[in-house]
Structure formats: structure tokens, C-alpha cells
Chains A and B, each alone.
Chain A
């Protein structure tokens, strides 16, 4: 099913607000979870034809505006990550869940690294990056595993 633009924007805004709340507590443990970026990446990954360069740029600009960071920062990272996701679209089919989760862990760490270069240079921490990599990989794995092994209350009769 094709996801509407409004749905993606709405979920990014929701994810951004949740991220703003949880990261206050998580930052004490050197953890950053970029939920809005992961939400966008999920839709870019899920899309059958992949997001175009213009749409990724505009999504990034939108996030720049709502998050109040430097204009162009998210647009840059979103464009690069969309290109990488699009390029590996067919390769992902050969990957296991663990490998895809590691991929999302890596791109979210790159996202944290690049954004913190601009917004948190005074307290730039490799410890935060390393721990966040582990946590984001684990989170991605958890989400993919839940999708497969969730309890089923209704069995489809379709063949």
C-alpha cells in the first residue's frame, strides 16, 4: 500500500515530539535515538520505488523547520541517506533482519554524528555515538522481530 505524504509528515512530527521527550532522559546515559529520522528511513526503505531526491530534500527542510536546527542540515542528511537506501534497495532482499538492523544502526549513528557536529560541537562525544549505535541497532532489530513474531489473534483464511 502506498503511504500518503500527509501520513508520513504526521508520523514524522509525532516521532519528533516523542524524541524530544525521551532524549532528555536518555542523554544522561549517552544515548540518542533519532526517532524522526528512523521513521523517515523506514518509509524510504518501505517505499516500492524509493523516494526521489526532491522529496527527500523537502522532507529534510520540513524537519529543519520544526526542529529549529540549521536550515539544510536535515535536508543534507536525508538526501544522502535516501540515496544510500535507494541504491541498496535490491541488495536488502538478500540481507537478514540482523544485517538490515545494523545498516539502520549505522545510518542513524551517521545522522547523530553529522547533526552533533553542528548543534553539539562543544560536547561532541564518541561515547554517545558508540552507545547510540548499539541501542539503535537493537531498537531496529526489536521492531523487525516484533513484526514477524507478534502474537496473532486473527488468522487470515486467504491462500
Chain B
């Protein structure tokens, strides 16, 4: 009699395949497990942060403290952070009309709780670059420098080059940021008289939108600059996002415009979250 291989009964496998399929459906359609994932991610990042701050850094700093250079290193670090902050502040000042209401003074916006609008600085906590280069989901995790803040949800995130995305979850002082290039993200943009909702294309620095040639007759050209229109209520108005990279004919009188974003999330480690009260 022929010998059967062990664990080949199809029935339990079918049960688990059906169970896995229903889990995917729940997660894909309703983001049912987003809370679990957020808790997992924030706890992993918090642990990593604690270990690096209280275990690795003291060990690494032993030789430098022996050589009495620790003060210089600290000073260097704070100067670097200050320089990064100044760069972001410069960007905000040059785009002031888009970011802040006119009644708000520019001098007191950085991490000032008395101001009606403020900027909260954050450091990069984790960036899955594999997903960023290969897949549709473009997200990163950042951690505020000033401690816990509960008003950051849905706030735009910038670096010194421009808009990067928005905060989609805020747990244990770690914010998950959905980047503009994520396929689930959409941002209202304009260029001259042309308006559209540009969605992420799942490729680094690429967003795009479609239009009908029956409505718009050559509204935009390659190389033309695009700006945020602020119509969605999340992003400020009139901030330069990037340039038109390509215009592709999709048939049925439809054309797709592909934009290249100016702000690269990989360039810097310091970010600013724009909070509007």
C-alpha cells in the first residue's frame, strides 16, 4: 500500500485559508487591525528608543567622556538640531501665507503653546524604505522632541524642502505619517487655473491625477510648478509641491499627469508637524 505523506489532510488547510482570507478582508476593507498594528509598532519603537538611549548611548559615550569631549559632542548635537530647526523655520517663513493665519505672529510659532498655531519638531523613528521603494504603502514613524502631544492627528508634516504628508495615528508619542506618494493618499492641488486631487502613485516622490481633455484643453505643461490648494482642509494653501514630470494619454479622452515632488523624506531626519488649533 502506498504511504501517505504526513500533515497532508486538506480540510484543516482549507479552514486556515478561509480564516486568513477573512482576516485580509477585514484588514483591507475596514482597517480592522490598525489599532493592534499601531500598538505593536509604537511599543517596538519605544523599546528601541529606550534601549538606544539608556543602554547603547551611555556605553558608546564612555570613551568620549574619558577624553572630556562629551561637552563638545553635546554642543555639536544641539547646534545641529538648532540648524535643522532654523532651516525648517526658514521654509515656514517663506511660505507664511500658506501656513498661518495672518493674526498669528511669526516669532512665537515654534513649540509655543500660547500661540494658536504652532510647530512641533520631531525626529525620524522608523522608515520602512523597502516598502517605500517597492510597494504602495509609503509611511514613516516620527517621534516629537518635546514630549506627548494629543493634538497632532491629521496635521501636515514638513521638512525644510516642503510638505511630506500627514499624521494618521498618534500613540505613545510616536506619530505614523502617511506620505503624499502613498496610493491611499490624496491632496488637492492647483497650477494656474487647473485644479485636481492628486493621489499617490506608490512610487518615491510621485503623485498624479487624471483629467478629461473634454473639460480641460492642455491645462498644464511639463515642467510647470504645482501648489497645494488647501481645499481638503488638512494642508495649507499655496505651498510649492513639485513640478509636472510627464503627461500620459490614457485613452477615452483621459490624460494622466505625473508630478515629481520637491520634498524628499529620505533627505533629512528632522521634521515639523504643523498644528492648527
Contacts and interface: CB of A to CB of B under 8 A. Distances in A.
B10 A83 contact: yes
B28 interface: yes
A75 interface: yes
Contacts, number: 120
Nearest to A78: B20
Contacts of B128: 20, 68
Given A53-B16, A54-B16, A76-B17, A122 B183 contact: yes
The CB with the most chain A CB atoms within 10 A, among B10, B23, B202, is that of: B23
Given A71-B33, A122-B136, A20 B130 contact: yes
Given A68-B37, A121-B136, A57 B8 contact: no
Interface in B1-36: 3, 5-8, 10, 12-13, 15-17, 19-24, 26-28, 32-33, 36
A27 B202 CA distance: 13
Given A56-B16, A73-B20, A119-B135, 6 more contacts: A54-B16, A65-B37, A82-B13, A86-B8, A87-B8, A119-B137
A60 interface: yes
A51 B24 CA distance: 22
Contacts of B37: 65, 68, 71
Interface of B is mostly: helix
Nearest to A50: B7
Q: Lowest 4 CB-CB distances: which A-B pairs, in order?
A: A72-B23, A76-B20, A122-B202, A53-B12
Interface residues of B, number: 39
A51 B7 contact: yes
Given A19-B130, A72-B27, A119-B136, A50 B21 contact: no
A94 interface: no
Interface of B: 3, 5-8, 10, 12-13, 15-17, 19-24, 26-28, 32-33, 36-37, 40-41, 128-131, 133-137, 183, 201-203
Contacts of A73: 20, 24
B20 A90 contact: no
A68 to B, nearest CB: 6
Contacts of B26: 71-72
Interface string A10-48: 000000000111011001100010000000000000000
A120 B135 contact: yes
Given A80-B13, A119-B136, A122-B201, A86 B5 contact: yes
> What band does the interface of chain A fall in when counting residues whose beta carbon is under 8 Å from B?
35 or more
Given A76-B24, A83-B10, A122-B183, A68 B17 contact: no
Given A51-B7, A122-B201, A23 B24 contact: no
Contacts of B12: 52-54
Contacts of A24: 129-130, 133-134
A116 B130 CA distance: 13
Nearest to B199: A122
Contacts of B22: 72
A89 B4 CA distance: 9
A103 to B, nearest CB: 15
Nearest to B6: A49
A71 B30 CA distance: 12
A82 B16 CA distance: 12
A23 B134 contact: yes
A75 B15 CA distance: 12
B130 A76 contact: no
Contacts of A60: 20
A68 B41 contact: yes
A10 to B, nearest CB: 16
B185 to A, nearest CB: 12
